[in-house]
Amino acid sequence: MAFAANFIWGAATSAYQIEGAAAEDGKGLNLWDVYTREPGRILDGHTGETACGHYRRFREDVRLMKEIGLQAYRFSLSWARLLPDGVGKVNEAGVRFYDALIDALLENGIEPYITLYHWDMPYELYKRGGWLNPGSPEWLGGLARLAAERFSDRVSHFFTLNEPQCFIGLGHLTGIHAPGLQCPLRDTFEMAHNALKAHGRAVQMLRQYGKQPLEIGYAPTCSAAYPETETPADIEAARQAMFALPEDDRNWTWNVSWWSDPVLLGHYPEEGLSRFEPYLPRFADADFKLISEPIDVYAQNLYNGRCLRMGKAGKPEIVHRYPGFPKTANGWPITPEALYWGPKFLSERYRKPLYITENGMSCHDRKTPDGKVHDPNRIDFLTQYLRQLRRAAAEADLRGYFHWSLMDNFEWEKGYSERFGMIYVDYPTQERTIKDSARWYREVIRTNGENLISNTREPS
């Protein structure tokens, strides 16, 4: 089975991780501008004040996207660059930046995909309670309306939220991401509910103010689950694990079903309603109508997964990774099977066309004396993962794949220590160098993935 003829091959970034110009041209403060200034929060005190300088270098970056042959580019809007206070007055310089970026992409035959919210809430809104404020859905609705009014004449693909599991969980439970809080569990469930309502409100505003028919999606994350063997029992064990909730309530946000069942099925999972009952706010029926506003596509940021077998008592049990299991530079396990079984299980449950909105690995990349950046590990990683995704194409309506990331960038609490890009960024000079993997990816795009299948057997 091959990828569909109209399958889209792209790469992804986010505003705070690449733009820099954190206080230029009228941009307001956001959560990460403030959080990264706090001592000890970010490795070596790195911040996104400069990042990859994309705000000024975007034309060069679009030319590099063209050289790689990208068909699409997924980027996020810096909310405080457009609305410095989060609501109200529009910063026209911010609108001009995104206008110019969108125009440059279209001039180069690259389809823009906009993510409305990739973690960088304006600080003024945080000061008004952030996601705990019942007005937060309307706040995101306002950003969605602005995006529709100003950009949807040229942009027809929008994702509302990127990884609510992270911006609620890491930002407000563990506190390793901005705003760095460890809130009461009950508050985090109310924040999550407001974030899901914000997703629904954004869908409504995009539909109402869109200048053309729009393809609207939602981009949560997860770690997938895959079976030890392809026996029906092990497959069922993996399927159950894929949608189960974490055992530790303090890690509750790291799951698929609590975040996607309401959006695509119109209700929270029963397991969660009973498990989390002590922490749940009152829900209004109208909330679920809003949260499940129809979307056109589903998406997932998918990097790896857990291996399961069906245990003797008929319960799924984790198959522990052997010593020395392959891993990436930042310690994530290399599990290509996740990109077959994850899309398979997600498509079975939600029956929606699916984008992989992020996948990739961090490598210890460096420029060698020949002036190049050889990243064979990334080429091998992507070959293995994309072969599995190609297998999923027979069972899921796969629409596209966005490599994380276009370029090395600010990796949140890890600062600039992890390189995920296909383009190497020399931060002191801001010089860009296309890595070997980008040249390999150009062939993947040109052949629509057919170059992935060499003489080795298709994955089982």
Span 328-367, contacts to ligand GCO by CB under 6 A: 358
Q: Which of 162, 223, 260, 388 forms a contact with ligand GCO (CB under 6 A)?
A: 162
- Binding segment (CB under 6 A) for ligand GCO, from list 65-73, 160-168, 270-278, 425-433: 160-168
Pick between residue 91 and residue 362 the one whose CB is nearest to ligand GCO: 362
Q: Which of 47, 160, 221, 433 forms a contact with ligand GCO (CB under 6 A)?
A: 221
SS (HEC) of 134-172: CCHHHHHHHHHHHHHHHHCCCCCEEEEEECHHHHHHHHH
Q: Which of 117, 404, 424, 440 forms a contact with ligand GCO (CB under 6 A)?
A: 404
Pick between residue 220 and residue 227 the one whose CB is nearest to ligand GCO: 220
Task: Pick the catalytic residue from 293, 358, 411, 418.
Answer: 358
Q: Which of 70, 87, 166, 389 forms a contact with ligand GCO (CB under 6 A)?
A: 166
What minimum distance in Å lies between the beta carbon of 143 and ligand GCO? 18
Chain centre distance of CA 300 = 7
Q: How far apart are CA 188 and CA 315, in angstroms?
A: 29
SS3 at position 317: strand
The single residue listed with the structure tokens 């996740």 is: 338
Span 279-308, contacts to ligand GCO by CB under 6 A: 301
Q: How far apart are CA 265 and CA 99, in angstroms?
A: 35
Query: β-pairing, 221-227 with 423-426?
Result: unpaired
What minimum distance in Å lies between the beta carbon of 238 and ligand GCO? 22
Of 339, 445, 441, 447, which is closest to residue 395 (Cα–Cα)?
339
Span 409-448, contacts to ligand GCO by CB under 6 A: 411, 420
Task: Pick the catalytic residue from 19, 124, 163, 228.
Answer: 163
Question: What is the four-CA torsion angle of 144, 76, 328, 60, rounded to 10 degrees?
Answer: 160
Angle of CA points 445, 403, 49, to nearest 5°: 135
Of 60, 76, 62, which is closest to residue 357 (Cα–Cα)?
76
What minimum distance in Å lies between the beta carbon of 460 and ligand GCO? 28
115 binds ligand GCO (CB under 6 A): no
75 binds ligand GCO (CB under 6 A): no
SS3 at position 253: coil
What minimum distance in Å lies between the beta carbon of 115 and ligand GCO? 9
Pick between residue 76 and residue 91 the one whose CB is nearest to ligand GCO: 76
Pick between residue 228 and residue 418 the one whose CB is nearest to ligand GCO: 418
What minimum distance in Å lies between the beta carbon of 78 and ligand GCO? 14
Active site residue 163: yes
DSSP 175-223: -SSTT-----HHHHHHHHHHHHHHHHHHHHHHHHH-SS--EEEEE-EEE
Pick between residue 235 and residue 297 the one whose CB is nearest to ligand GCO: 297
Of 336, 424, 339, which is closest to residue 375 (Cα–Cα)?
424
Active site residue 358: yes
Of 76, 263, 240, 50, which is closest to residue 159 (Cα–Cα)?
76
Pick between residue 226 and residue 404 the one whose CB is nearest to ligand GCO: 404
What minimum distance in Å lies between the beta carbon of 223 and ligand GCO? 11
Question: What is the four-CA torsion angle of 205, 74, 385, 167, rounded to 10 degrees?
Answer: -60
- Binding segment (CB under 6 A) for ligand GCO, from list 101-109, 158-166, 371-379, 431-439: 158-166
Pick between residue 91 and residue 260 the one whose CB is nearest to ligand GCO: 260
Total number of residues that touch ligand GCO (CB under 6 A): 11
Specify the DSSP class assigned to residue 279.
G
Specify the DSSP class assigned to residue 1.
-
Span 7-26, contacts to ligand GCO by CB under 6 A: 14, 17
Residue nearest to ligand GCO (CB): 301
- Crossing angle, helix 376-392 and helix 436-446, to 10 degrees? 30
Active site (catalytic) residues: 163, 358
Report the interface residues with ligand GCO, using CB under 6 A.
14, 17, 162-163, 166, 221, 301, 358, 404, 411, 420
